[in-house]
Structure 1
Amino acid sequence: MNVNEQITTFLKSNLLDKYLIGQTTASETEEVEHYVNTYPEVKKVYEKLQDKLELSAQINAVKAPKNALDNILNALEEETPVVQIQPNKPKRKWFSLAIAASVVALIFAGSSAYLFVQNSNLSNENQVIVDEIFDLRSDIAKNNSRLTDILEQFKQLNNPETEKYVLKGNRSAKDLKTVAYINPKEKKSMIDVVSLPQLPDDQVYQIWADIQGKMVSLGILTEADRKLQEIPYTEDALGLSISVEPKGGSLERSSDTPVAEISLKLND
């Protein structure tokens, strides 16, 4: 189990909650203090839970009614003389004790319910914090991956071996413009879709490589692809062309007159 998995398992164990309310054993206390002092993520969760617990205790502190204790004592004082004067009526004594016991039971039940709710809330908040931490880590990993891809693309663009080819549309697609970047030494090809005229829903733009008169598909172009992206590199390609094909693309170029084409000079 790696460190991240260990931290996740620990945070989900609710040991932090038990530690904050003093319910951990000696070994559990040692484990909690080890994680808090060793891992900044755990310490951050611990401090946040501690702050929330203190704030919650201050906000939800409930004082007993001002006259509750006086009322109980007065009730007991009122009943006690009766028991002493008439010892043959024990029922009233037990009735008074039952009242006092009921009040104590209600106070205890209320305190237990309050602590249970607070513990449940802390557990839920703890899980939310854990999820937020791992969502943040996931976003950082995705951003780092995208940054790596962008740096690699700029590296290819600035490579002196990379050739740039601009494909512009003819009269059938005069607003079409794409830019191809090809590096025969590293066998890399990229394309930047600058603009594509709108097509009916049952048609698509498809890019092709001319290899000794045979047209090889390099994929379908869409408005969603308006960013620099890799396309298959084709050895000894003589040219590139873009044609309009049925939705889903074609295995063979259906038109001898593409909407855009350009010759490559990689072998000069």
Structure 2
Amino acid sequence: MDVQRYISSGIIESYVVGLLSSQEASEVEATMAQFPEVRAQVEACRLDMESYIGLQAITPPPSIKASILARLSAEEEEAANGPSTDPAAPAPAFHMAHGLMGGNKPLRHVVDAKWRLVAVIFIVLLIGSLAFNYVYLNNYSNLKGKYDALLLAQARLTKDNESYQTKLQQYSDELALMRDPNFQPIRMLGLKGHEGNIATIYWNAKSQDVYLLSQNLPQPAADKQYQLWAIVAGKPVSAGVFTVSNMAKGLQKMKSMVGMQAFEVTLEQAGGAAAPTLSQLFVMGKVGS
């Protein structure tokens, strides 16, 4: 091999700046191992290149970012679609191998600046993405918590509103019944020992419907229950049991009756009795009184 011709061919400079293919670079490295002159020339070229770059290195202008990104995009498009025929297209990598790009800036400096810029852009985007994700997740968690709380409050308000609407309708119906002239109110007052206890019967002579309003009867024991009796032909007839808890406030429908002379209420065992316990007679009222 003519070592001097090999050295002057320019392949060593191309090897130093990294423009050779992997196969060509392997051939140069094999030649370096065989010929010390070639190795010495490679090292000298590398030192010269580094010295030159150190002397000529300058901070790239801000416009280099757009230029590099445009050049990279053009090279990717060329790799995918073939060489560009546009005269305004960025210079191919072959021309950059001869040492200059975009003026008199050394190739290695531009390449290093390019990758430094790409690395900086990537890091900035990564940090921005992480910060955005952190803020977004925090905001999402806070908003989701508030949204769930609003849904719960809305469900509670809806339930309460339905309950209020039901009670309002119940009160409206009861008021209409009390004002109905077909219903006769029969006031039952407390007997001896139960003074102050009051209950009222609303009886419809046409339909025979009977409703009871417990106004002031004491809360009985858990195993006791009040029972309404209608006195028909002098004999007590059960009109059913009822409760006086807060849940039972308002009119309670009892058994329909006809021919009553009076109504009375006794306290019996839960479920009612076949005959009234007269010792537990609380209130009484006569029909037509």
TM range (shorter): 0.5 to 0.7
Residue of structure 1 in register with 2:285 after alignment: 262
Q: Percent identity?
A: 15
Residue of structure 1 in register with 2:216 after alignment: 195
Residue of structure 2 in register with 1:243 after alignment: 266
Give, in whole Å, the separation in 2 of the partners of 1:222 and 1:199: 8
Q: What's the Cα RMSD here?
A: 4.0
Give, in whole Å, the separation in 2 of the partners of 1:197 and 1:116: 59
TM-score (norm 2): 0.49
| Residue 132 (structure 2) pairs with residue 111 (structure 1) | yes
Greater shift after overlay, 235-244 or 214-223? 214-223
Give, in whole Å, the separation in 2 of the partners of 1:166 and 1:230: 15
Shift of 1:242: 0.9
Give, in whole Å, the separation in 2 of the partners of 1:233 and 1:100: 87
Give, in whole Å, the separation in 2 of the partners of 1:265 and 1:158: 17
Shift of 1:221: 3.3
TM-score (norm 1): 0.52
Shift of 1:96: 10
| Residue 190 (structure 2) pairs with residue 169 (structure 1) | yes
* TM-aligned CA distance change 1:94 to 1:118, over 3 Å: same
Kept in 1, the 8 Å contact 2:226–2:242? The answer is yes
Give, in whole Å, the separation in 2 of the partners of 1:232 and 1:154: 17
Shift of 1:136: 3.7
Residue of structure 2 in register with 1:232 after alignment: 254
Residue of structure 1 in register with 2:243 after alignment: 221
Shift of 1:158: 1.5
Give, in whole Å, the separation in 2 of the partners of 1:200 and 1:141: 32
1:115 alignment partner, SS class: helix
Shift of 1:216: 1.5
Residue of structure 2 in register with 1:179 after alignment: 200
Shift of 1:166: 1.4
In the comparison of the two structures, how many residue pairs are matched?
Answer: 185
Kept in 2, the 8 Å contact 1:194–1:226? The answer is no
1:173 alignment partner, SS class: coil
Give, in whole Å, the separation in 1 of the partners of 2:192 and 2:247: 23
User: What per-residue deviation string (whole Å, max 9, x for no partner) do you get for residues 188-245 of structure 1?
Assistant: 3322222124655543432223455352142233253674313224231523211121
Shift of 1:253: 3.1
Larger radius of gyration: 2
User: What per-residue deviation string (whole Å, max 9, x for no partner) do you get for residues 123-177 of structure 1?
Assistant: 4434444444454444434333322222222221122222111112222322321
| Residue 160 (structure 2) pairs with residue 160 (structure 1) | no
Give, in whole Å, the separation in 2 of the partners of 1:167 and 1:225: 22
Alignment of 1:203-218 (within 5 A): 203-211=224-232, 213-218=235-240
- Give the letter for the 1:250 counterpart: G
* TM-aligned CA distance change 1:128 to 1:142, over 3 Å: same
| Residue 170 (structure 2) pairs with residue 149 (structure 1) | yes
2:201 alignment partner, SS class: strand
Give unmatched runs, 5+ long, in structure 1: 1-79
Alignment of 1:14-163 (within 5 A): 101-102=122-123, 104-163=125-184
